[in-house]
Amino acid sequence: MFRHCVAGIDFSAGWDQVQAQLKRMTSLLGIQQLTLVHVDEPRQWTHRDFTDAASGVRLEQVARDVQAGLGIEVHSRLASGFAATAILEVATRQQADLIVVANRSHSRGRDLIMGNVALNLVRLSTPPLLVVPFDMGATNESAPLLLVTDNSPLSSGARTCFAGLLGTRKGRVMLIQRPDQQPTLSEMEDLNALAASHADVTIDSVTGNPVAEICRVAREIEAPLIIFGMRAGTIGQQYHDSLLEDLCRQTLSPVLLIPS
């Protein structure tokens, strides 16, 4: 489903978490080729020639190690500029099916001061995006995949992806009851058809704080993956965008964001 994946790497401790998730996700997501991207950002340009050379050697070594560990084709790319934009540009040029990035912060204040590559990609990305938290919680491979949807048109791609990934796995749908919109009859029929075609899919309604409830359920069932729909490369619907960013900031589970 996601044959070619681009993964951002900054050589921090969080990369170990991303690498572990890639090993687990390769089979589930159908990844056959991986491109590792390290971005030399403006604040690192004091000794740029030396930095590029050192980063290049280290990146090539990581690529060899990852290829040996995953058993798939792995390439490396050095880029310069602002991290989120540079990673997206590489993914676009290479027509990647998926971008993978680690999220290091759960704090709005820290994001304002330090920036947040993962959340910038949430706002900008046109390919699907897998966000892996640095301090990821426990996951259970036999636990259900978790689809979060408000049944709006923005969620149609996520529903399709969820159905494609299920196979013989269990699934759980968390239907968000939006304060400003009720799902149409056809949208509910689509969701019911999804549950009817997979015997091990259950549907729950979320009526309280959606982010807190999603995080609680994901933590309790040790969800291996949360799947969520997003707008493709733009900020638009305020409720949806705020919910999406808050979920990526707070959850301890990997989140797969599928553009509309």
pLDDT tens-digit series, residues 94-141: 999 999 998 875 444 344 333 478 889 988 889 999 998 887 777 888
149 φ, ψ (degrees, to nearest 5): -150, 145
Alpha carbons 59 and 11: distance in angstroms, whole number: 9
pLDDT digits (tens, 9 = 90+) for 186-210: 667 777 888 788 888 998 888 888 9
> What was the pLDDT predicted at 91?
96
The residues, ordered by sequence, that sit 6+ positions from 250 with a Cβ below 8 Å of its Cβ are 106, 211, 212, 215
Q: Are residues 204 and 253 in the same domain?
A: yes
The contacts found for 110-115 with CB under 8 angstroms, 24 or more apart, are: 111/249
pLDDT at 87: 95
* pLDDT at res. 109: 38
* Domain span including residue 152: 145-259
Q: Locate 30 and state its tokens.
A: 């159908």
Does residue 28 belong to any structural domain of this protein?
yes
End residue of a domain, out of 105, 133, 161? 133
For residue 30, pLDDT over 90 is answered with yes
Give the tens place of pLDDT for each residue, 84-102: 999 999 999 999 999 999 8
The domain boundary residue, chosen from 113, 133, 153:
133
User: Has residue 140 been placed in a domain?
Assistant: no
Q: Is 149 helix (H, G, I), strand (E, B) or coil?
A: strand
Structure tokens at 165: 């990934």
Could you give the 3-state DSSP secondary structure of residue 203? Answer: strand
**Count of the separate structural domains present in the chain:** 2
Q: Tell me the CATH number at 178.
A: 3.40.50.620
Question: Which two three-digit tokens encode residue 25?
Answer: 């996700």
Burial of 260 (0-12, 13-18, 19+ CB in 10 A): middle
| pTM (2 d.p.) | 0.87
Residue 225 · residue 253 · CB < 8 Å: yes
How confident is the model at residue 190, as a pLDDT?
Answer: 77
N- to C-terminal Cα separation, the chain: 16
- Per-residue pLDDT tens digits for 44-86: 544 455 456 677 888 999 999 999 999 999 999 999 889 999 9
Residues 230 and 187 in one domain: yes
State whether 71 and 162 are in the same domain.
Answer: no
Is the pLDDT assigned to residue 214 strictly greater than 90? Answer: yes
